[in-house]
Amino acid sequence: MSENGNGFWSGRKVLVTGATGIIGSWLVKELVARSADVVALVLDSNPQTELYRSGTIGRVHVVNGRLEDFSTVNRAVVAYSVDTVLHLGAQAIVEVATMSPLATFETNIRGTWNVLEVCRQHRSFVERIVVASSDKAYGEQDDLPYTEDMALRPRYPYEVSKSCADMIAQSYHQTYNLPVGIARCGNVYGGGDLNWTRIVPGTVKALYHKQQPLLRSDGKYIRDYIYVNDVVRAYLALAEGLDSESVRGQSFNFSSESRITVLEIVDDIRRQMGCNHIQPVVLNTAKGEIRNQYLSSAKATQLLGWKAQYTLEEGLQETICWYQEFFSSYDHQPKSVRHATATQLR
């Protein structure tokens, strides 16, 4: 995927928070491919994540710690004199936020103001900051698709945590002229997502093991799905665009604008995996989730020149291949190793 272009990233010192997540792992890989000097803020070492499996972890500086700890964030920025911060770290599961709102608020809100405050204090070398918000920050809206001029109307804990982080980032730009850009993406999918409660990895995992996928909703919720490689390009485009005053302090939607129901994406995965005979189980137990969400990315196209390159068909094909290799390599490990990592694959 690397597009070195004019070498913008070569030699840049870049801090990536949430570096072991699905986006963080692929983003770090791409930055390394573009010759950036990357610092990865990592909470836990997980050998199953793409950051570790790919060997990329051995090519970056690693700082272990929590976003909620100001001194950890400060050390990650100051010790390596980073000029660019890509803040992806978060508690990213909606159901977890509903069950544990305080922990989610601590990570997503306190973690974000820690990152921004450290950057404010070290403006002498921090040149650009990208903050990961979410389409969930918009909350329930009467008119769709979401556009950036809409007011944020969150209600449930996860939505509130992301909208608060979003608004704190805007505040730091307005008050301190901090060079911040805010990214709001749709449902991100791709290889390396180990959160099995999410619809794409959960469905692929179930079908690989010849089991019925479980749907928490009634299957009719509408979402747009964006492939992780397109999201990586989006974050890099936004960071590069922060040289422009017209981009600083702005929020941007990033979407493939593929609007389908949960049942439809499950059917697409079943078809690609040759599992049409395995029917999903519709639990219809989802609570505290917005029913219909999709984004317009016209602003990102106009101001950043960004547009999704992957169709849903292409993205799912690559994603399924990644998981098939992932599970196959696990199946061929010695029995003792399979047992030691089994809980991570449940």
Query: Which residues are known to be catalytic?
Result: 158
38 strand-pairing partners: 14
Q: At what angle do helices 157-176 and 111-121 cross, to 10 degrees?
A: 10
How far is 194 from 274, CA to CA, in rounded Å? Answer: 22
How far is 150 from 166, CA to CA, in rounded Å? Answer: 13
Q: Which amino acid is at 346?
A: R
How far is 7 from 34, CA to CA, in rounded Å? Answer: 7
The rounded Cα 302 to chain-centroid distance in angstroms is 23
Say how many residues make up the chain: 346
The rounded Cα 150 to chain-centroid distance in angstroms is 22
- Decide the pairing of beta strands 222-227 and 259-261: antiparallel
Give the CB-side neighbour count of residue 227, counting CA atoms within 13 A.
Answer: 18
